[in-house]
Amino acid sequence: MPAIANPRLLILHPRLNLYLKPSFATMLFRSHHNFSLFSFNHGRKLAIPKPQLFSVNPRNLSSSQLAAEAHSNSRDNGGGGRSGALSPPAIVEAIQKIDVNPPKGTRDFPPEEMRLRNWLFSNFKEVSQLFGFEEVDFPVLESEALYIRKAGEEIRDQLYCFEDRGNRRVALRPELTPSLARLVIQKGKSVSLPLKWFAVGQCWRYERMTRGRRREHYQWNMDIIGVPEVTAEAELISSIVTFFKRIGLTASDVGFKVSSRKVLQEVLRCYSIPENLFGKVCIIIDKMEKIPMDETRKELKSAGISEEAIEELLQVLSIKSLTKLEEILGPTGQAVSDLKQLFSLAERFGYSEWIQFDASVVRGLAYYTGIVFEGFDREGKLRAICGGGRYDQLLSTFGGDDIPACGFGFGDAVIVELLKEKGLLPELNLQVENIVCALDHDLQGAAAAVATILREKGQSVDLVLENKPLKWVFKRAARVNAQRLILVGNSEWQKGMVSVKILSSGEQYEITLDELE
């Protein structure tokens, strides 16, 4: 390692949180004529960020002083070229490029992505409002206790949880329903039922980053609190169908598989299997498609289900016809009667061709109690698009009143994949009505005045904030899809006028400020 004459000249850069292993730092010094290990920029020089590696006494200089010194020196020597020499008075400084990517599993939304997100969310919101639902939201950070449920749900293992500075166990919400239940209980008698609430919120799951899954997604939820009848489920499915139609999907692109958890419950009851196994069995069955059948059998057996019951269960789960189900379970049970009502309502709502009975649908959350449904793509390429159902006991297990409820969650990921596949993603461009530009530096203020006049009339304006050649301005106008270019030039301005160019037609004219609108 080269000798360092004056250790104070080693500028440390703790704000970039760059930690080098000692061996790595040594290597760096050994190879100080070849800095390609680091992402370098603009000939800035490199510093070593671990004070204890060198003879800098941290008591003499606080880390912020050191950082500030680095900062100041970087400006003073900004123009210098690369310097590999470490002998004085060379100053070595680290500008370690930060990781420019968002944390693993998360996304940035640059303008083009944001336009798509806004388009999607507007459709979520407009459909919800068409159905008379009110928007709500909850904290993205909730108490962990809200999500600690029984039955081995996937969601619990994927909780993004930690202890906050006040030693509270908190979690980034993995779903919205528990928060909604909490808020409904909190509101108590002050709200009149039924509640029809919707939300579009970000949810977090710490999943293995396989299969292109992300760790956060936005979820559209619609919930009806206080309606025990199947009309509620029928209404919810109707709203999703309305959404699908709005964004260009048809019944030949997507559909809903519908069942009821009561089917399972009635089979279990036939075999005198204790109801307390219900949740656990549901979770096992929900994973059925992803694991070998023998594995499912084994799991059901170790849950305490007899082999005979398992076979019956698996047979029932393979049923895709309501008539067949009725033959097996009989016509008097709640499961069959609920499902028959739903299919009859679907006809009146006008979405019969979108839904089909499928006993294998149970959904992966422990709290469902009745009808469950799942949106799917008919080509079978993607995971479920959305899912929901009735959860009549969630509020009471949280200590609230026994209030019937149902709802669904609809993520922002699978639907975008599907629209991409079908070529249905909309083309969304930035659109600004006017671009206003001063032709002379002295006219910047005049251009600002023109922009203000237009904006006060509700016209959007991209104001050119620097003196730029006209060629640049036209390129900019094209990029922002401006309809009009308004040029503020000296001779027109002295007459109280500006020059207007309609960019689609090329038409050009002069008008007074009063005429601008």
Q: What is the nearest approach in angstroms of a second copy to the Cβ of residue 448?
A: 5
Residue 162 forms beta bridges with which residues?
170
Please, are residues 436 and 447 in contact by the beta-carbon 8 Å criterion?
A: yes
User: Residue 368, annotated ligand binder?
Assistant: yes
From CA 406, how far away is CA 127, in angstroms rounded? 18
User: Residue 369, annotated ligand binder?
Assistant: no
Q: What is the nearest approach in angstroms of a second copy to the Cβ of residue 380?
A: 28
From CA 266, how far away is CA 149, in angstroms rounded? 23
From CA 93, how far away is CA 102, in angstroms rounded? 26
State both tokens at 422: 């079908």
From CA 114, how far away is CA 111, in angstroms rounded? 5
- Rg of the chain over CA atoms, in angstroms? 32
Q: What is the nearest approach in angstroms of a second copy to the Cβ of residue 1?
A: 25
**Cα 116 to the center of its chain, rounded Å:** 12
Nearer to a second copy, 303 or 328 (CB): 303
Q: What is the nearest approach in angstroms of a second copy to the Cβ of residue 398?
A: 5
Q: What is the nearest approach in angstroms of a second copy to the Cβ of residue 477?
A: 11
Alpha carbon distance, N-terminus to C-terminus of the chain: 70
Nearer to a second copy, 138 or 421 (CB): 138
User: Residue 177, annotated ligand binder?
Assistant: yes
Residue 118 sits at the vertex; the CA angle it makes with 117 and 120, to the nearest 5 degrees, is 65
State both tokens at 423: 């070529």
Nearer to a second copy, 288 or 303 (CB): 303
Q: What is the nearest approach in angstroms of a second copy to the Cβ of residue 403?
A: 12
User: Residue 19, annotated ligand binder?
Assistant: no
User: Residue 205, annotated ligand binder?
Assistant: yes
User: Residue 137, annotated ligand binder?
Assistant: no
Q: What is the nearest approach in angstroms of a second copy to the Cβ of residue 141?
A: 6
Which residues, other chains included, contact 129 with Cβ-Cβ below 8 Å and sequence gap of 6+? none
User: Residue 433, annotated ligand binder?
Assistant: no
From CA 418, how far away is CA 425, in angstroms rounded? 9
From CA 280, how far away is CA 365, in angstroms rounded? 10
**Cα 429 to the center of its chain, rounded Å:** 21
Nearer to a second copy, 23 or 41 (CB): 41
Nearer to a second copy, 319 or 488 (CB): 488
- φ, ψ of residue 119 to 5 degrees: the values are -65, -45
Nearer to a second copy, 232 or 310 (CB): 232
Concatenated DSSP letters of 53-102: GTT--TTTS-HHHHHHHHHHHHHHTTT-------STT--B---PPP--SP
Q: What is the nearest approach in angstroms of a second copy to the Cβ of residue 319?
A: 25
Beta carbons within 10 angstroms of residue 92's beta carbon: 21
Q: Is 200 helix (H, G, I), strand (E, B) or coil?
A: strand
Nearer to a second copy, 35 or 328 (CB): 35
Nearer to a second copy, 89 or 166 (CB): 166
Annotated binding site: 175-177, 205, 219, 223, 363, 367-368
Annotated binding site for L-histidine: 175-177, 205, 219, 223, 363, 367-368
